[in-house]
Structure 1
Amino acid sequence: MKVAANGLSFEVEDSGPAGAASPVLLVMGLGMQLTAWPQSLVDALVAAGHRVIRFDNRDIGLSTWLDHLGVPNLLWESMKLRLGLPVRAPYALTDLAADAFGVLDALGVASAHVVGASMGGMIAQRMALAAPQRVRTLASIMSSSGARGLPGPQARVLQVMMSRPKDRSEPAVLAHYVRLFQAIGSPGYPEPEPVLRQRILDSVRRGGYHPAGSARQLAAVAADTTRAQALRELRVPTLVVHGAADPLVPVACGEDTARRIPGARLVTVPGMGHDLPQGVVERLLPPLLEHLRLGSP
C-alpha cells in the first residue's frame, strides 16, 4: 500500500495484527527494497506477536524517486570526504529518518522497535538520536557508526561496485547484481546461484533499475559525519549484529558502533557477510527476539 509522508509517497508492507502492542519497523539499506527483508524473518517476528512494518526508502523501489535532484559526483565527494571537507548531498540521512517516522505517523504508530540493515542501521541510529521516545529498542545490523578511520570495503568488492552493467537490459542488470551479491555474500552461508538470480530478478522487475537513487542515498551516507560522536549520548536499548566475514562493511564497524552506544550488546556472527541468507536469519533471530522483549509491554 502507499502512504504519504514528508511530501513523498512510500510503498509499505504492514504484516501482523494492526493492534499488536509491539510494532517493529524494518529499515532496509542502500539501494535495497523492502522485499530484501527475508520473508522468513518477517514471519518469525509476526509469529512472536509483533506487527511488522517494512517500506521502500525514498529513491528506490515503488516509493518516490527524486531524479530532479540530479546525480552527485561520487568520486569528487569521496575525495572531499577523505580530505575532511564537507560532502554535498541532495538530502541527508536525517531526512530518511524523518521519512521513517512519517511512515509510522501515517500508520498511527506512536513508537516502535526499529531494526535497520546496513544504511538502514544508520537511519535507525538517526531515528533513535532524533526521537528516542519513539524508538523502543534499536537493532543495527551490518552497519556502522560512520566514524572516520574505520576500514572500508575489500578491494575486490570495490571493483565490482565501481563497475556498471554493459547496458540497461534485464540480462545485463541481472548479471551485474549477481556478481555484486556473490562478492558481498556470506561465505559461511552461500546462497545457491539459481535462488540468488531469482531473488534479484524479482527485485529488478518490482522496482526497476535506479542507480541514480542509490547514488543520492550513498551521498547522504557520506555526508553524515557527526553521527559517531552523537551516539555516545544514546540511551535506547541497542543490539548490534555484524558478520565476522563482512567484506563490504567490515566487522570493525559494528564493533565501533557497539562501543559508542552505552550499554549496547554486540553479537558477531561467524561466516556472515553483507546479506541475510536463511542461515544468517536463523542465527540472527534468537538474539533479536530476546532484544525486542526489552522494550515490549
Structure 2
Amino acid sequence: MTDRFCPVGAGREVCYRTDGDPSGTPLLLIAGLTLDLTSWPREMIDGLVAQGFYLIRFDNRDVGRTTPATTPPPSLWRRALQRPRQDGYDLADMAGDGVAVLNHLGVQRTHVAGMSMGGMIAQTLAARYPTRTLSLTSIFSTTGSRRVGQAALSTQLQLANPGARTRAEFIRKHLRLVEHLAGNGFAPDRAAAAEYAARAWDRGLRQAAGDGVARQINAIYKSGDRTAELRRITAPTLVIHGDRDPIVHPNGGRATAAAISGARHVTIAGMGHDLAPGVIDRVVRLIAEVSRCSSEPCSNVSRAV
C-alpha cells in the first residue's frame, strides 16, 4: 500500500506499488484511461495475491503520482477528428514506463494484464517486449482500428461533459459514469467507486483531469491501428470482454483475439466496462488460467461465461 518511485530519466519518475510475496509469480497490472494504480478493486488484488501472484501496478503518465508530461494537449478539434499531436507520447512510451519499473525491481519476465487503455498498453508491451512477457490478459480493450471498439453515442455524450472543478463534483461525475458503464448484469460498488474517486483526486488527478487526460487520449490516437503489431504477439493471450460494454464495443475484443494467434476470447454476459464485484472472481480465475498457459497449451476458443 506504499507509493514507491522508479527514475526513468530526464527528471521523470514512475510511481508504483507492489502486493504479495516478491518470490511469487510476477503480474504487471496496467490501469485504463484517467485511472491510477489504486483503481484495481481491492477484492481483485487480494484474489490475485491468493493465487500466488506478486503484483506490480503503476501510475500511467498524467495520472496519480507519476511525473506528468509537459507537452501541449491536443485541441478539442484534434480529439474530435482523431488527429493527434505528433509531439506527444504514445502507447509504446507508456509500455516503456512499465518495463522501466520491471527493470527497477529486477523482474526479467512477467505476466501482463491491462484494462481498457491499459489493455492497449499491455498489448503493446507484449508485442514489443516478447522476451519479457509470460502471458497477456486484455480486459475490455481493442486494437485501435476505427472499424471496431467504438463507443456508443450515449457514452460519447457522457464523456463530452466538462471536467470537474472540485473534489465533490469529481466524485459525483465519476459515480454517474461508473453507473453508465457498468452494464445490466452486474451492479457497480458505489461505495468503492466513491472512495476511489476521492483517493484519485487527492493523489493528483485534480491536476491531470484536463490536459493530462487529453494527452492520454492523444497517445491512443497517435498509436493508430495496431492490428498488424498484435499479430506479432507470441505470449499466451486471454481477451475478456463484456457483451454490454458501452464505451469499447465488444467487437473490439473480438478483433483483438482474432489478431493474436492462439488467443482465447471470453465474453462475460451482462458485463459492461467495469470490474464489478460480481465478475471479479471470474476474472481472477481466468487470469490464473492463462498464466498457466506459459507452461502448457491453451485452446483458441471464444465462449461466454
1:115-141 deviations in Å (ceiling 9; x for gaps): 011111111111111110100001100
Measure, in 2, the Cα distance between the counterparts of 1:169 and 1:121: 29
Q: Percent identity?
A: 35
Q: TM-score, normalised by structure 1?
A: 0.92
Measure, in 2, the Cα distance between the counterparts of 1:241 and 1:58: 24
Q: How many angstroms does 1:192 deviate by?
A: 4.6
Measure, in 2, the Cα distance between the counterparts of 1:145 and 1:170: 33
1:128-170 deviations in Å (ceiling 9; x for gaps): 11110100001100100112311411111111101014x5122
Measure, in 2, the Cα distance between the counterparts of 1:169 and 1:207: 13
Equivalent residues in 2 for 1:1-297, closer than 5 Å: 1-7=4-10, 8-20=12-24, 22-66=25-69, 68-81=70-83, 88=86, 90-165=88-163, 168-209=165-206, 210-211=208-209, 212-295=211-294
Q: TM-score, normalised by structure 2?
A: 0.90
Are the equivalent residues in 2 in contact too, given 1:237–1:263 (CA < 8 A)?
Answer: yes
1:55-108 deviations in Å (ceiling 9; x for gaps): 111111111112x21221143244155xxxx75351111100111100100111
Aligned residues: 290
- Segments of 5+ residues of structure 2 without an aligned counterpart are 297-305
Are the equivalent residues in 1 in contact too, given 2:138–2:240 (CA < 8 A)?
Answer: yes
- Segments of 5+ residues of structure 1 without an aligned counterpart are none
1:251-281 deviations in Å (ceiling 9; x for gaps): 1100010011000000101111111111111
Bigger shift: 189-198 or 95-104? 189-198
Q: How many angstroms does 1:227 deviate by?
A: 1.4
Q: 1:230 is paired with a residue of what secondary structure?
A: helix
Measure, in 2, the Cα distance between the counterparts of 1:50 and 1:76: 41
Measure, in 1, the Cα distance between the counterparts of 2:264 and 2:59: 28
Alignment RMSD (CA, Å): 1.8
Q: How many angstroms does 1:203 deviate by?
A: 2.2
